[in-house]
Amino acid sequence: MSSEADASQNFPAGYQPPKVWTYQPGGGAFANINRPISGATHERELPRGQHPLQLYSQGTPNGQKVTILLEELLAAGHSGAEYDAWLIRIGEGNQFGSGFVAVNPNSKIPAMLDCTTDPPTRLFESGSILFYLAEKFGAFLPASGPARAETMNWLMWQMGSAPYLGGGFGHFYNYAPMKIEYAINRFAMETKRLLHVLDTQLGRTKYVAGDEYTIADIANWPWYGGIMNGQYNAAEFLSLHEYPNLARWNDLVGNRPAVQRGRRVNATSLMPESLRVLERHRAADLDVKG
């Protein structure tokens, strides 16, 4: 088959990758914040509050992980986990400000400063932040042995699976400016496989990594619970009724008061507007609404 015939099957018809790729804005929901280079686009210092931990985030699934853990730590009596949560509006490019880039050179939320150290310890990547906080406070992470290893297994599994759910299935099914059959089929298949992996595991254990609630649950719930709760509007498309163990776990984790509080912080979507708390600087901020 000739290259011309191959290209005729491409989308758009006749497309062939160039010898050297050059950036072309592609449209879609995130076109104004995607670019092929890193670094700051403007000068903007980050605000600082009075609490030991300063969080700069937005209530996406990755952002929810950290606020859920912080609320769980506070609920468990760890007063040192008090935090200020500043809203970073990623749709407006706040993550490309010089102050944010200094904390996270990858310009992705969430990012955090632990101001109990001198100089403050910078933290980025949601999984790294969960691990750091769990170790710092000695909570939601087994201290040693197989239970700790299993928790880390499922934490890293989630970090590896998220691009297939969000940037893959979520993007092409829900956000892309055009529907591409191949892309949707490819990422729907992988999403179904991941759902089956987690549902099978939860058929054996109460929580993701065993009988204890850990950062493995906190990492996975905003993504897989999010799908079960209507994110991407894909319940029928993905036949989510096929995953009863996942549904049980979704309710078990989602009904925890700290989870309900944490997912409201920095929320700009994914829940009713009346429940959103754009910034959190004291515990009472979450008592104002809801």
Decide if 59 contacts 67 (C-beta within 8 A).
yes
Q: Does the domain made of 53-140+273-286 have the CATH classification 3.30.930.10?
A: no
If pLDDT is split at 50, 70 and 90, which confidence band does 2 have? very low
Nearest partner of 128 among 98, 147, 103, 145, judged by Cα: 103
User: Would you state the pLDDT for residue 229?
Assistant: 96
**Which residues lie across from 277 on neighbouring strands?**
265
**Segments making up each domain of the chain, as ranges:** 53-140+273-286, 145-255
State the CB neighbour count (10 A cutoff) for residue 245: 15
Q: CA 252 to CA 255: how far, in whole Å? A: 6
Q: What are phi and psi of 215, to 5 degrees?
A: -65, -15
CATH topology of domain 145-255: Glutathione S-transferase Yfyf (Class Pi); Chain A, domain 2 (1.20.1050)
Decide if 157 contacts 219 (C-beta within 8 A).
no
Angle of the 244-254 helix axis to the 181-202 helix axis, nearest 10: 70
User: Would you state the pLDDT for residue 3?
Assistant: 46
Does residue 11 have a pLDDT over 90? no
Does residue 285 have a pLDDT over 70? yes
Q: Over the stretch 25-35, which tens digit does the pLDDT of each residue have?
A: 776 777 778 88
Fold agreement (53-140+273-286, 145-255): no
Q: Over the stretch 152-166, which tens digit does the pLDDT of each residue have?
A: 999 999 999 999 999
Q: Over the stretch 86-137, which tens digit does the pLDDT of each residue have?
A: 999 999 999 999 999 999 999 999 999 999 999 999 999 999 999 999 999 9
Decide if 147 contacts 158 (C-beta within 8 A).
no
| E strand or H helix that includes residue 57 | strand 53-57
